[in-house]
A and B are shown apart, each in its own frame.
Chain A
Amino acid sequence: MKNRDHRFTLLLLIPVVLVLVAYVLYPSLRTLIESFQNKEGWSGGNYADFFGSESRSNLQALWNSVYISLLSVFFSALIGVPLAFIFNKYEFPGRSFFSSAAILPIVLPSLVGVMAFMFLYGESGLVPNAIKDLFGLTNIPFKIGGVSGILIVHAYTMYVYFYMTVSSTIRSIDPSLEEAAYNLGAGRLTVFTKVTLPLLTPAIVGASLLVFMTSMASFSAPFLLAGGFRVLSLQIYFSKVNGNLSMAATQSVILSIVSISFLLFMRWYQNRRDYRMATKGIGAHRSEIKNPFLKGLMVAVGVVGVIILLLPHMTILILSLVPDGTWTYQTYPSVFNGENYLFLFTEPKIWDPVRNSLILAFLATLGNLVFGVLTSYVLVKRKFVGKNMLDIMVMLPWALPATVVGMNLVLAFNESSVFTFGHILVGTFWILPLAYFIRHIPLVVRSTNATLEQLDDSLEEAARNLGAKWFYLFRRVVLPLVMPGVMAGTLLAFVEAVGEFPTSVLLYTLGNRPISIEIMNQLRMFNMGQAAAYGMIQISLIGLVLFISNKFFGIKAERSL
């Protein structure tokens, strides 16, 4: 029995390990090897170039990435942490509406979000121009671009990490801890600094590292907003476009080292400072705000906040109604109709990218579903040596910046290999689904893990005891029970794949160009309307998926982002 069990685990493990080695490990190694090659063969020359004095730009880009990321952490925390406090500690009219609105930035794919910010606050942006006209100024009062643009976009999208982690920690803090402190004579300030804040520290540090990693990897914002400003993720793209693959590999390795060390640090820190609450309390008491002035203030702040949060979405919606060629030199668009949407469904050239994206995302997600469930089952329910290693391999694509994942694939599969059955994948249709698949392995595995871990082992044992064979019980007992978690993760992977930009831009071909690439093309041709219409498709898809997950699977899908 024991032996058969072992053999079976091995049988399940083989495909999982094979896929991870072929498409995660091998491409990463290829990049590493490539970074140590130049025309003559093995050499450390690329690294010498990177850190050398001739090309300041690389070091400058590394430094820029780091300091932008640090500032992004700071600003995101500045918005996210206070919001989490206000929404979880106080009760006032509209609180629950505002707190759901706080995660609105998630519904915006990165490229579309950046685009919206350009049109809102850029050089010819609607907000600065409206202020100029309203107050009769001669110049626009402000505009974003370069560093400030990147930072504002980062703060807008990434404060959600702080908001969500801190919120959930606040909710999990046993209220009797604070009460005990009051009971021992501590005032509000002491309770906050000595009890509440230390308990929140792990969450704040966790979110900080996450935001740091995300903004190190950030591609869309610098791509559209940086101007002459260089960051490392963008440098990789430029090196690749210029055909300097070895330098692109070197830059990828350095960016990965920074990201992975942060990931390892985060794991270490979280294991060290995990205050498991003895018991879950009754849940946080929200104190009701009674003072009418304060109450009004809160509501006003909430309303203004929601408007600011919603502006990008509204901008995309409005822009999508502006036909091509009707908004050129004017300050504001003046013609609105559904032409862009009409084109979507009538002009094959316009519709093709949407169809491509849906097909690509579908294929990738199908892979994620099958692979994710299998891997998660093996990780959670089976015992074997090297589980930790497997876990790390699964999480690797999450730690790697998207640009690096793209570069890895370029370098590994622009030649034939056993893992592609002798084919060259780069330049074919199949490279993009593969890229999306790799990018979203961790997402689906993690969301499945979460549900599988709650599944009591005794259910499986009971099914066995009643005579069910493994495949039968997996199909009839395990799958139905974990389906909600699996579907939530899979749907999320699907919409993320539809919006994916960094890997697409490195790997697309004319035949399979997805929506995000077409948005970029339309922007280049100044067809904002058509670009926005594409954006609306992505926004609606994400909204739909979050709604479905919440409604039908009862799962807050945004949690697993």
Chain B
Amino acid sequence: MSSVTLKSITKSFKTVQAVKELSLDIQKGEFFTFLGPSGCGKTTTLRMIAGFYYPTTGSIFFGDREMTKVAPEKRNTGMVFQNYALFPHMTVFENVAFGLKVRKLASAEVKKRVEEALAKVRLDAFTKRQVSQLSGGQQQRVALARSLVIQPEILLLDEPLSNLDARLRDEMRTEILRLQRDYGITTIYVTHDQIEALSMSDRIAVFNAGECQQIGTPKEIYNEPANDFVASFIGETNLIPVQLEGREGGTLQFSWVEDNSKKLMAERPAAFSEEELLSVSIRPEAVEVFEEPPVNLQNVYEGTIELAQFTGASLNLFISLGGKVVQAMVLNTMAHPEPEPGDRVWVRLPEFRVRVVPRVMEPKEGRRIS
């Protein structure tokens, strides 16, 4: 087991810069996740850690050993590929035994360890099978066993669940977590699925376009996003472009960019500098909806319900505040009358729940400005 340190790593392919100036510190035994949309450089980073690519600039350390240019077979990492990469000409046993045979272990020892590993992933009944005769979930577990059996210093998983159907995915999520806790192994997990990232990780690094946007625990990432990209990529959110008007103690005063007459108070800003463009982010579940104008409250705006979606546990309301549509999630309390499109309502964005973030995306489009 080992910690992993990336020191300002850059990787360029012919025309694209897949990873830009990335620095990371991953602790021993940590479950660390790379999260980001597809094409943002997660796989490239993982492959640099496994040694399949060498960084264009920067360096990689396992513990205090420099690994930047060490060949992949000398790194002792266990990688689980997105498509499992099981050897089709070998049985389950032979697949799992491959790494041990390469290490020239005695065959009795190989047998013992392989059987242990297969038992750990609950496949002890399938040793003799050809891998093509296994279901997707079983193949996944063979791949896991194969990389765990060599007792790697670091376990690397590249979107391991993306080829499974929804049910199996839930099952394997707990399975992977259980194995990781069992072995206590440093794990780097690549995914574009925010639920996976939030539910499994000790810490998450959010990537976009080759750059790391934020590193933090799932709670930090969700509750205190560093910018509007992180806020909107993880979970649903409403983003309202604002400009700073002044501050009063810990409270900041803003006005809407789209409508100067609308004012907004906020208590929980992210780090930002004076020159940056700003937005506020507020999660739908934090938005409060009233049928009558509330008294003595701030950040209240009048609006009309445009659409009401029933999702079972809750109701998603899309409320138009004079041009700007805000999404609110209210619990299903079976209240009568139910909110309906066309209803006049008052919306409150509680000042202790709005998060002020630097704007790195164009509003609406979801693309970056710079």
Contacts and interface: CB of A to CB of B under 8 A. Distances in A.
Interface of A: 174, 176-177, 179-187, 190, 194-195, 198-199, 201, 275-279, 281
Contact of B147 (A184, A201, A278): A184
- For the complex, would chain A's binding face be called helix, strand, loop or mixed by DSSP majority? helix
Contact of A185 (B83, B88, B99): B99
A279 B99 contact: no
Contacts of B83: 174, 176, 278-279, 281
Given A186-B98, A198-B89, A275-B88, A179 B132 contact: no
Contact of B72 (A183, A198, A278): A183
Contacts of A187: 73, 102
Contacts of A195: 87
A219 B215 CA distance: 72
Greatest chain A CB density within 10 A among B76, B78, B84, B85 is at B85
Contacts of B163: 279
Contacts of B147: 183-184
B132 A177 contact: no
Contact of A190 (B82, B102, B139): B102
Contacts of B282: none
Given A185-B73, A186-B73, A180 B102 contact: no
A467 B173 CA distance: 49
Contacts of A199: 88-89
A370 B51 CA distance: 56
11 contacts: A174-B85, A176-B81, A176-B85, A179-B81, A180-B86, A180-B146, A184-B99, A275-B88, A278-B84, A278-B88, A281-B83
B88 A276 contact: yes
B110 interface: no
Contacts of A176: 81-83, 85
A184 B85 contact: no
A334 B370 CA distance: 72
Interface in B78-128: 78-79, 81-89, 98-99, 102-103
Given A183-B79, A190-B102, A277-B88, 19 more contacts: A176-B81, A176-B83, A176-B85, A179-B79, A179-B85, A180-B79, A184-B99, A184-B102, A185-B76, A185-B102, A185-B150, A186-B99, A186-B102, A199-B89, A275-B88, A275-B89, A275-B132, A276-B88, A281-B83
B118 to A, nearest CB: 16
Contacts of B89: 198-199, 201, 275
Contacts of B78: 183-184
Interface residues of B, number: 31
B88 A184 contact: no
Contacts of A198: 89
A198 B50 CA distance: 25
Nearest to B81: A176
A184 B81 contact: no
Given A185-B99, A185-B102, A199-B89, A276 B132 contact: yes
B86 A183 contact: no
Contacts of B146: 180, 184
A280 to B, nearest CB: 9
Contacts of B98: 181, 184, 186, 194
Interface in B249-297: none
Nearest to B86: A278
B265 to A, nearest CB: 51
Contacts of B238: none
A174 B88 CA distance: 11
B52 interface: yes
Contacts of B73: 182-187
B46 to A, nearest CB: 11
B77 interface: yes
A277 B132 CA distance: 9
Greatest chain B CB density within 10 A among A190, A199, A275, A278 is at A278
- For the complex, would chain B's binding face be called helix, strand, loop or mixed by DSSP majority? loop
Contact of A177 (B71, B87, B103, B150): B87
A276 to B, nearest CB: 7
Contacts of A179: 50, 52, 72, 79, 81, 85
A183 B102 contact: no
Greatest chain B CB density within 10 A among A180, A279, A281 is at A180
Nearest to A190: B102
Interface in B42-82: 50-52, 71-79, 81-82
Contacts of A276: 88, 132
A169 to B, nearest CB: 12
Nearest to A194: B98
Interface in B211-228: none
A181 B77 CA distance: 11
Contacts of B52: 179, 182
Contacts of A190: 102
A198 B98 CA distance: 14
B2 to A, nearest CB: 16
A278 B95 CA distance: 15
A317 B165 CA distance: 62
A281 B71 CA distance: 22
A244 B242 CA distance: 101
Contacts of B77: 183
A521 to B, nearest CB: 53
Contacts of B74: 185
Contacts of B84: 278
Greatest chain B CB density within 10 A among A185, A187, A276, A277 is at A185
Interface string B220-242: 00000000000000000000000
Contacts of B150: 184-185
B94 to A, nearest CB: 10
**Lowest 3 CB-CB distances: which A-B pairs, in order?**
A184-B99, A275-B88, A176-B85
B187 to A, nearest CB: 15
A278 B131 CA distance: 10
A193 to B, nearest CB: 12
Nearest to B99: A184
A277 B83 CA distance: 10
Contacts of B72: 179, 182-183
A199 B87 CA distance: 9
Interface string B183-218: 000000000000000000000000000000000000
Contacts of A184: 73, 78, 98-99, 102, 146-147, 150
A277 to B, nearest CB: 7
A367 to B, nearest CB: 42
Nearest to A186: B102
A180 B81 contact: yes
A277 B50 CA distance: 23
Interface string B132-169: 10000001000000110010000000000001000000
A277 B85 CA distance: 9
A195 B94 CA distance: 12
Contacts of B81: 176, 179-180
A176 B150 CA distance: 18
A199 B88 CA distance: 8
A525 B79 CA distance: 70
B216 to A, nearest CB: 29
B60 to A, nearest CB: 15
Contacts of A279: 83, 163
Nearest to B74: A185
Contacts of B99: 184-186
B103 A185 contact: yes
A187 B102 CA distance: 8
A177 B85 contact: yes
A195 B146 CA distance: 15
Nearest to B75: A183
A187 B101 CA distance: 12
B363 to A, nearest CB: 35
Contacts of B50: 179, 183
Nearest to A277: B88
Given A185-B99, A185-B150, A186-B73, A180 B85 contact: yes
Contacts of B87: 177, 180-181, 195
A180 B150 CA distance: 13
